[in-house]
Structure 1
Amino acid sequence: MSDQAWTDRIVGERMTVDQEFAARIEESQFSSQQWSLIMTATEFEIEHPDDPDRARIVANTEKLDGIIPELENVQAGMGAMAGQAADTGSGSGSSGGLVDSIMGALGIGGGNGGSSEKEQREAAERLTQEYADELQSHLESKGRWESVRRAAGGD
């Protein structure tokens, strides 16, 4: 059975875990838009699916490097929109929007305390694994884990 087949079986559970995990995302350094981007680059796998004692859902984050730079663009775009909404025409001071995002893209300027790409990747890896753990816990509580594990193992 393909890796995709077991994930297709748990779409409803994923939606439930997504809703439950939303509070955790709000506490994190990522916006919901950034989290969505991170999740598109993350694949979930079941490690050791043929061993009930060792099987667990893991987050495969190999593709994160491709989207990490885009996380800043998403945040900069949100900052620019917020800056436009907050700007009352005084023209004084920077809202941290467009100019800062251009300077950041050029690699100049001190930044606004933003994290490095390495730090963002590490935070994304931790958070996606937390999500994977939560998903497995949810499947276990619903009595679905064994059938999903077996499906991933090709049984």
Structure 2
Amino acid sequence: MSNWTDAIVGERMAVDREFNQRIQQSQFSNQQWGLIMTATEFEIEAADDPEAARIVADTSKLPQIMPELDNISQQMGAMAGGGDPSGGASDGVFGGIIDDIKNLLGSGGGGGGSGVDHEQLAAAEQLTQEYAEELQRHLENKGRFEQVRLAYQE
């Protein structure tokens, strides 16, 4: 199923550019959105039915990364303010974020959902589904959705 996503990399980049304004209007920073998208996979629901098929966001991994969104926000604020207001070390911020992402996605969540802001999670889920709908519209407008739907079924 990953072949279908490989086939639309260019289309995804175009949708990313178009969707950027929507991200700017959301509660998420670009860095947070990048993390959200890293944890989101896309599927085609009802792929065997050309009339009902639609791209949907699989957000099952989002609860695992939600606590990290707050860390990104705090770290970006600390960088803008010249220091870490919590008194922690601020060197290696981005390396730490990447390590945290790898651990969160690879470990199966460790925290069991603790520390998850459910309103923030709902907002992330809604935004990823909006992205999926925009991606489908884009593919349909380019006349590529049927080809992508068939590739998904393989």
Query: Per the shorter chain, which TM-score range?
Result: 0.7 to 0.9
Displacement after TM superposition at 1:153 (Å): 1.7
Give the aligned partner of residue 150 of structure 2: 150
Give the aligned partner of residue 98 of structure 1: 85
Give 3-state SS (helix, strand or coil) of 1:98's partner: coil
- Structure 1 CA distance, aligned partners of 2:81 and 2:43? 40
Give 3-state SS (helix, strand or coil) of 1:51's partner: coil
- Structure 2 CA distance, aligned partners of 1:100 and 1:135? 42
- Structure 1 CA distance, aligned partners of 2:64 and 2:22? 24
- Structure 2 CA distance, aligned partners of 1:17 and 1:122? 22
- Structure 2 CA distance, aligned partners of 1:38 and 1:76? 16
Determine what percentage of the aligned residue pairs are the same residue: 62
Displacement after TM superposition at 1:100 (Å): 9.1
Letter of the 2:140 counterpart = E
Pick one of 50, 56, 59 that aligns with 2:57.
Answer: 59
Displacement after TM superposition at 1:99 (Å): 2.6
1:69 and 2:67 correspond:
yes
Structure number with larger C-alpha Rg: 1
Letter of the 1:13 counterpart = E
- How many residue pairs get aligned? The number is 127
Instruction: Kindly report the root-mean-square deviation, in angstroms, between the aligned alpha carbons of the 2 structures.
Output: 1.6
Unmatched tracts of structure 1, length 5 or more:
86-96, 102-115
TM-score, normalising length: structure 2: 0.79
TM-score, normalising length: structure 1: 0.78
Q: Deviations over 1:63-83 (max 9, x none)?
A: 001100000000000111111
Where in structure 1 do 4 or more consecutive aligned residues deviate above 6 Å?
Answer: none
